Amino acid sequence: MKFKITFLYLFVLVLIAVTGVINACKTPEAITAKSGAQLWGENCNRCHNAPDPVTYNDDQWDVVAEHMRQKALLTNTEIAKVRDFLKSANKQ
State the residues that interact with another protein by CB under 8 A.
Answer: 18, 21-22, 24-28, 30-32, 42-43, 45-52, 55, 59-60, 62-64, 66-67, 69-81, 83-84
Shortest approach of another protein to residue 53 CB, angstroms? 11
Q: Which C-beta is closer to another protein: that of 3 or that of 29? A: 29
CA pair distance 84, 86, nearest whole angstrom: 6
DSSP annotation of 55: G
Sign of CA dihedral 65, 68, 73, 74: negative
Query: Which residue lies nearer to another protein by CB, 8 or 31?
Result: 31
Alpha helices in the chain (DSSP H): 2-25, 29-32, 36-44, 58-72, 76-89
In the complex with another protein, the residue whose CB is nearer, 5 or 47, is 47
